[in-house]
Structure 1
Amino acid sequence: MRLVSLASGSDGNSTYIGSEKTHILVDAGISNKKIETRLNELGLCGSDISGIFLTHEHSDHIAGLEVFVRKNKIPVFASRGTLRYLEERDKYYSIVDYFHTVESKKNISLGDLNIKAFDIDHDANEPFGYRVECGNKKIAVATDLGRYTMDIVNNLSDLDALLIEANHDIRMLETGPYPYELKRRILSNKGHLSNENSGKLICEILNDKIKKIFLGHLSDKNNLPELALESVRFEIFSHDREYNPKDFDIEVAKRDALSEICYV
């Protein structure tokens, strides 16, 4: 299996997960042109994608969806709440026939991949994270988390690789340029995961076989890549378990470019 971030940040998010036979995207929050260009860099094209799994309906997760699906005729999988939002907007009228409802904790099989959605806390219509398995290999994507719960920890257990949110540094957010109401939203249980809480969540799910951890969805105003890395590594170093941050390959997913390719 491969895990690659096509883009990850406040301006747009899209993640590729695939085996030799089956290829999917989690979110399509960048332009169709960028999606195609970055798939080409992986030796793929849009028509190779078996399905797009949407985490939720915010624009940084669906910006390229309509054009990409219309051109490539690809099924779109998402929660009832997410699809209802899209169906009520004229822009997506041309692709509603490709919509498929996903239920939390139910498996969907595409080729040799099994994909399971799980509930996350965010100010959206029924948002999801996704866990993808192929044989005994397991990868997950979880961003836009206001908080993490034991259910999320359980769904992120026993992974080989993951992309996890490290959205903001709390001090940068508190002293930054955002208006008070937006700051309060981001810090709420329906907002985004801070660097520190991302590190705490990672500590809960570390295991000996994890090959890669991508830190994703970094704020361009309230975070820095080196700060996110330092904070997460500090949490691992400080945790009671006998793991050392140097034992794990942790990388910040690029805001507007292909990440390193993770093979599991």
Structure 2
Amino acid sequence: MTGFSFTSGDGGFHAPNIDEELFPPALLFDGTPFEISRVILVRLIAVAILLLLFWIALRRPKIVPTKLQSLVEMGVGMIRDGVVFDMLGERIGKKYLPYILTVFFGVLFMNITGVIPLLNISGNALMGMPLVLAICTYVAFIYAGIREAGAGTFFKNALFPSGVPWPLYILLTPIELVNTFVVRPLSLALRLMLNLMVGHLLLVLCFSATAFFFGMLNVWSTMGILTLFGGFFMTLVELLVAVLQAYVFALLTTSYIQLSVAKEH
């Protein structure tokens, strides 16, 4: 993990400091608007690897694909056919497929850094990146609604659902306003951040406890073995969460666009 401290002067175990884990000191350009901490560096590495893999896989696509090309095409096909075209239809889906694919693979690669040795933290474990992604989705579904359904229809459907007696709009419209234009982006960002942040802290706790039991006590203690296996188990769980959260983010993004482009709710 990071350079956490798990002992104190009394030789006892102390849990890693959350501030040090989630808000590490600057590595470059300290005190400037371009300050780069460990989390920012992890995000840059994730984006660079994502771009590199796609460039290698697709720069010269083959009729008989390579293993990497097949893997990339499988991921693209899963989101394209199983999510975007299934929910939006092919005609509308093609317009928003590039953005939804970018969201899926971007979130996936930034999530996976949480279980990669030497990186060991997700680029989405802090609020900044999930919030940026949520704002982009917020803009995307509003843009899609105005473009496909028209501004009047989009805002009418969002704020005045059909089939409701008009006096109820006094109560319902403010609720729909908050739900559509505030809760949606915030829930996207918070769901992603909290899942990755909690997972990172659990991994740090497991492996710091293992280091304490094996290192400080200098014995292969039962607790050390248990925490080690606990850490490996949580690593597998975090890998599953990384993929699942990327899929959920893409699915919800598509769902919001689908609701926006509908002629009537």
Name which one, 1 or 2, has greater alpha-carbon Rg. Answer: 2
What is the TM-score with the length of structure 2 in the denominator?
0.24
The answer to which structure, 1 or 2, has the higher relative contact order (CA under 8 A, 6+ apart) is: 2
What is the TM-score with the length of structure 1 in the denominator?
0.24
Structure with more of its chain in helix, by fraction: 2
